[in-house]
Amino acid sequence: MIACLSIPYFVAAVERRGDEALMDKPLVVGGQPWEARPLFAFSSEAARAGVRPGMSLRLAYSLFPDSRFLPAAQERYRQSTGEIAHTLADFAGRIEAQDLWLQLPTRTAETAISRTLPAYYYLDLEELPAREALSLAADAGRAVRRESRLAPSIGIARRRFTAEVAAALARPNHARPIVPGEEAQFLAARPITFLPLPAETLRRLAALGIGTLGRLAAMPLPELRLRFGPEVEAAYYMASGRSRVEDAVPAPPRERVVRAAGRFETPLTSTLALDAALVRLAGSLAARLAEAQAEALQLQVRWEAEEGERGQRAVALRRPTADSRRLAGALRELVMPLTFPGGVSYLAATAEFQERQVRQPSLFDAGPAAEAGLDLDRLIARHGAGLFFRPAPAEPGHVLPERRFLLVER
Amino acid sequence: MDLDTRKQVAAVVDAIRERWGEGALHPGSQLNPPPPLPTGIPPLDEALGGLPRGGLTEMIGIPSAGATTLALKIIAEVQRHGQVAYLDLPQTFDADFAARCGVALEPLLLVRPHSLRQAAAILRDLLGLGGLDLVVFDAYGEPPRALQAALGRSGPLLATLTRSRSALIVLVSQPLRQQAPARSVLAFPHTAARLVVRKEAWLYRGPDIGGYRALILITKDRQGPAGKQIAVTIRLDDAVTIEAP
């Protein structure tokens, strides 16, 4: 999950924090109305009067003469955003800050979000479940409010863009979680101005009647790509709340099986003969698996009884193996409980396989592992190789004499 | 309790055992908590009574305070009769230093997970496998809230720990800007003991540093009163030793 903390009109919020007298006054930051330069930032009241990023101070004054005009103190704003990032570092390992208040939007990059000149912070909450992500993000929001005396709004979603939109729509000091799976529904009614698209593309989309994210997501992607170019592809996935990876078509799986079979002129009637035949089948399978450098995952056995009756059974192996004894054991489990009054005339075994995994030797090789009841193979199979190590003495010619030990993968 | 009441209770107990099995009810007298693990540091054993098995011990300190050294010395002691695993999330395990602390490296299981989430999953599996007497989870440098969330959300982890006979030490870094050392960083309700380790002073041998004095504050102890302080001297010779001053 990704939590997005947004502080809209960040510069105005920092100015107001430093001076209580500015609390209810509309603000334009960047200089005085008579100075010939663009404004730096403004408050929400000025935005409602029509003030926009990049506008000249003089025009801002003519639109909203009651505004209080202040010089910009960029260093103070940077310090504030750094403090917030520092506070958030307690809550997530990976944090990204986006200072949209500093980037004067151009005509091609202006979005419904950047228009409010906010400070944005993204917290990577990895695969934390939604409810716990909400709790953690709410804690983070409270910490930011306590430490910085600013009012963040929080959006929580599986995708970054969805979290951004949720944060932009949340009230200050409130969190808006988007339940996984409901992203498209949440985004559908939002305007396409949330998308980071060039102004011309937005205009053309609007002219075609595509005014909301839902409408864009409903369009066929190849058509969109053809008409608007590849840049619209990312916007399409953002609007649908999905990622490219989810849409990727998986490659068709190639057949991964080995087979062994035997037909018997004299039907196998005794248990001993049947067992010997199963051992031979297991040996053939093991040889073919070894040739393919693979391990069997699943075994299937088919038989024909002398009376003409046919049947088959399958089993998923608890642990992948290419060992003939284990394969024979699995085949025995499949076949031996059955009864064949007239004997078996045909037996065939099929093993679905995977490439052999590099597996490390068992934990405490000398025996304490068994005593301790530790099954390191199981741990490695579950969590992957390359995580479990055994410190071992370094070779005598090690380049660093003080390094007497090396870590050897188990 | 009169005879009738006893009979009623016995009937209820029989009914529960019949429906839910023999293991559903245990008389309190049959509960035998496993003996705690001795740490090998006499003043700490005296104050704490050993590390609780099936319980979590937080060990908190700023980097270089001595928490890792303390943990390694405890590992060395536990290895005399048991098995130990070390989860090295920051990937800073120093085998040479561990050997100097007396840790037997050959039987030590060292795990280097790639993420906090993976570490929590492996920790749960290690505790679930049984057979380990001590698991040390080095989570230095992890954001406390993220750590709390990763371990806290593993309800099965805490249940597994409680059932197991392993002791769990979690090494947590104390944020440098945090002024109150006794304040819990992890704030786990399940913590059986919380030790805050502070470095007090360097000890010099001529111009060289020969060790340091450290203070161990027991800020939570389920088995006894909290608030005890233990001063120790950690000598960084060829063999690292911890002794009472």
Q: Which of B108, B122, B175 sits opposite A379 (nearest CB)?
A: B122
Per-residue pLDDT 10s for chain B (245 aa) are 677 888 888 888 888 888 887 767 777 766 677 788 899 888 898 888 889 888 889 998 888 889 999 999 999 999 888 889 999 998 888 888 888 888 888 888 899 998 888 898 888 888 887 788 999 999 988 887 788 888 876 566 777 888 888 899 998 887 655 544 444 555 566 788 999 999 989 988 888 888 999 999 998 888 888 888 999 999 988 788 888 87
Q: Which ipTM did the prediction report?
A: 0.76
Q: What is the pLDDT of residue B17?
A: 80
Total Cβ atoms within 10 A of residue B138: 26
A392 touches chain B (CB under 8 A): yes
Pairing state between β A388-393 and B228-236? unpaired
* Chain A: closest CA distance from residue B100 (Å): 11
Q: Which of residues 78-97 of A touch B (CB under 8 A)?
A: 89-93
Q: Which of B106, B125, B149 sits opposite A128 (nearest CB)?
A: B149
Question: What's the CA gap between B218 and B212, in Å, rounded?
Answer: 19
Q: Which of B105, B117, B142 sits opposite A127 (nearest CB)?
A: B117
Instruction: Pick the closest to residue A348 from A284, A294, A267 (CA basis).
Output: A284
Contact between A368 and B107 using a beta-carbon 8 Å cutoff:
yes
- A265 contacts A346 by C-beta, under 8 angstroms: no
Question: What's the CA gap between A112 and A280, in Å, rounded?
Answer: 71
Contact between B144 and A90 using a beta-carbon 8 Å cutoff:
yes
* Chain A: closest CA distance from residue B130 (Å): 7
Q: What is the pLDDT of residue B75?
A: 94
**3 state SS of A393:** strand
**3 state SS of B232:** strand
Chain B residues closer than 8 Å to A89 by CB: 143
B132 touches chain A (CB under 8 A): yes
Q: Which of A132, A388, A390 sits opposite B153 (nearest CB)?
A: A132
Interface test with B, best of A121, A390, A398, A408 (most B CBs within 10 A): A390
Instruction: Pick the closest to residue A363 from B125, B162, B151 (CA basis).
Output: B125
If one compares A153 and A339, the residue with the highest pLDDT of the two is: A153
Q: What is the pLDDT of residue A110?
A: 66
Contact between A389 and B111 using a beta-carbon 8 Å cutoff:
yes
Minimum Cα–Cα distance from B133: chain A residue? A372
Minimum Cα–Cα distance from A372: chain B residue? B131
Question: What's the CA gap between A321 and A326, in Å, rounded?
Answer: 7
Contact between B131 and A371 using a beta-carbon 8 Å cutoff:
yes
A136 touches chain B (CB under 8 A): yes
Question: What's the CA gap between A240 and A255, in Å, rounded?
Answer: 35
* Chain A: closest CA distance from residue B231 (Å): 30
A364, pLDDT greater than 50: no
- A383 contacts A368 by C-beta, under 8 angstroms: no
Q: What is the pLDDT of residue A317?
A: 79
**Burial class of residue A250 in the structure, from the number of CB atoms within 10 Å of its CB (0-12 exposed, 13-18 middle, 19+ buried):** exposed
Contact between A93 and B116 using a beta-carbon 8 Å cutoff:
yes
* pLDDT digit string, tens, across residues A192-250: 888 888 878 888 888 888 888 888 888 888 888 888 877 788 888 888 887 766 555 55
pTM above 0.80, yes or no: no
Chain B residues closer than 8 Å to A93 by CB: 116, 142-143, 146
- Sign of the torsion formed by the C-alpha atoms of A25, A31, A35 and A39: negative
* Chain B: closest CA distance from residue A93 (Å): 6
Q: What is the pLDDT of residue B121?
A: 87
Chain B residues closer than 8 Å to A91 by CB: 143, 145-146
Spell out the residues 6+ positions from residue A71 whose beta carbon is closer than 8 angstroms to its own.
Answer: A29, A30, A31, A32
* pLDDT digit string, tens, across residues A46-77: 888 888 887 888 888 888 888 888 888 888 88
Spell out the residues 6+ positions from residue A63 whose beta carbon is closer than 8 angstroms to its own.
Answer: A46, A49, A50, A51
A147 touches chain B (CB under 8 A): no
If one compares B169 and A341, the residue with the highest pLDDT of the two is: B169
Instruction: Pick the closest to residue A178 from A201, A158, A199 (CA basis).
Output: A158
Q: Which of A90, A374, A405 sits opposite B105 (nearest CB)?
A: A405
**3 state SS of B243:** strand
* pLDDT digit string, tens, across residues A289-333: 888 878 888 888 998 888 888 888 888 877 778 888 888 888 888
Question: What's the CA gap between A247 and A233, in Å, rounded?
Answer: 12
B109 touches chain A (CB under 8 A): yes
A104, pLDDT greater than 50: yes
Chain B residues closer than 8 Å to A392 by CB: 105-106
Chain A residues closer than 8 Å to B145 by CB: 90-91, 136, 139-140
* Chain A: closest CA distance from residue B199 (Å): 23
pLDDT confidence tier of residue A358, bands split at 50, 70 and 90: very low
Question: How many Cβ pairs closer than 8 A exist between chain A and B?
Answer: 102
* pLDDT digit string, tens, across residues A108-123: 456 777 777 788 888 8
Residue A122, beta-bridge partner list:
A4, A96
Q: Which of A92, A127, A389 sits opposite B112 (nearest CB)?
A: A389
* Chain A: closest CA distance from residue B118 (Å): 8
* pLDDT digit string, tens, across residues A143-187: 888 888 888 899 998 888 888 889 888 888 888 888 888 888 888
Q: Which of residues 163-192 of A touch B (CB under 8 A)?
A: none
Question: What's the CA gap between B50 and B65, in Å, rounded?
Answer: 21
Interface test with B, best of A1, A90, A139 (most B CBs within 10 A): A90
Contact between A383 and B175 using a beta-carbon 8 Å cutoff:
no
If one compares B173 and A407, the residue with the highest pLDDT of the two is: B173
- A9 contacts A32 by C-beta, under 8 angstroms: no
Please compute the mean of the pLDDT values over residues A361-389 and round it to a whole number: 61
B190 touches chain A (CB under 8 A): no
Minimum Cα–Cα distance from A402: chain B residue? B96
Q: Which of A383, A388, A403 sits opposite B118 (nearest CB)?
A: A383
